[in-house]
Amino acid sequence: MNKLLLTAYGFSTQTIENVAQNMIRENEVTKACIISTSWPKEKEKHPQMQQIRNDLINMNVPQVDFLDIEFENANKLFDYNLIFLNGGYPFYLLHFIKKSGADCILRKIHQNGGLIFGLSAGSIVMGSSIDLMQYLYPEDNQFNDTDLTGLNLTTIQVYPHFKEMLTRDATIKDKITEYENKTGINITRLNNNQALEVVNDTQTFLR
C-alpha cells in the first residue's frame, strides 16, 4: 500500500497530527529523514525544520535525521522508513532531487511501501509536474530548468498556502483558474490548516 501525506504547513492541526501519527504507527517507523534541500541557506537550522523534527520525535519516532542531498549521498535515504520533504522553493528542491538521483530513490521507497510526507514545496514536487509554479513564479526558476516533471508519486497537484497567499496577491485565485482552464489540470488548493492523506492515489481531505 502506497501512502503519502501532503501538507501545506506541516502538522498544523490536531487532525493532521493524528493522521500522521497513525501512519507512523501502522508502518512501524523507527527512522525518519528530513530532506533539508529546499533553499540555499540555513537549511536544517531553520526553525521550521527544527519544528518538524521535534514533532516527529514527539510522535515517538526514535531517530530523526537531516539529509542535504545537494551535498550528501542520496542513497542514504534507503536507510529510513519515513522521508519528509520540507518546504521552501519547489524549483530548488526538485533540481537537486533530480541531480542527486533522489527522484529514483524516492519512487522506489514509495513503491516499497515507505512513507513520504511533504510540506509546501515538498508536497508540490510529489505530483506529476511543477509547471504551475513556472506559470506563477517563473522568476524563481533560478537554474532555468526546462524539465519540470515532478516525482509522479501521485496524480494530485497542490497549491499550498492558498488563503494566506490571497492576502498578498488577490490575483492568485484567477491565475490558478486560468492555468486549470488552459491545461485541463485540477489544482487542489490547500490552506495552512489543511492537508491530504493519499492512499493508493485516493485522497482524504484533512483539516
For residue 8, the domain's CATH number is: 3.40.50.880
Mean pLDDT of the chain: 95
At residue 45, the pLDDT reads: 66
Q: Where does the chain have alpha helices with state H?
A: 14-26, 47-58, 90-100, 102-111, 121-124, 131-136, 162-166, 172-183
180 within a domain of the structure (yes/no)? no
CA–CA separation, 94 and 147 (whole Å): 10
Q: Is 55 within the bounds of a domain? A: yes
**Is residue 82 scored above 90 in pLDDT?**
yes
Averaged pLDDT for residues 14-29:
97
Expressed as residue numbers, the domain containing 47 is 3-156+195-206
pLDDT at 41: 66
183: in domain: no
Q: Terminal CA-to-CA distance of the chain, rounded, Å? A: 23
Number of domains the chain contains: 1
Q: Give the type of residue at 161.
A: H
Question: pLDDT (tens digit, 9 = 90+) per residue, 101-158?
Answer: 999 999 999 999 999 999 999 999 999 999 999 999 999 999 999 999 999 999 999 9
Would you place residue 10 in the very low, low, confident or very high pLDDT band (cuts 50, 70, 90)?
very high
Angle between helix axes 90-100 and 102-111 (nearest 10 degrees) is 90
Whether 177 is in a domain gets the answer: no
Report yes or no on 184 lying in a domain: no
Q: Which of 121, 200, 83 is nearest to 153 (CA)?
A: 200
pLDDT at 201: 81
Residue 28 has pLDDT above 70, yes or no: yes
Let me know if residue 176 belongs to a domain. no
What are the distances in angstroms from CA 168 to CA 33, 105, 165? 33, 36, 5
β pairing state of 3-7 and 195-199: antiparallel
By CB atoms closer than 10 A (0-12, 13-18, 19+), residue 182 is: exposed
Q: What is the pLDDT of residue 49?
A: 84
Model confidence pLDDT, tens digit, residues 33-67: 999 998 776 666 678 889 999 999 999 999 999 99
Classify residue 33: in a domain, yes or no: yes
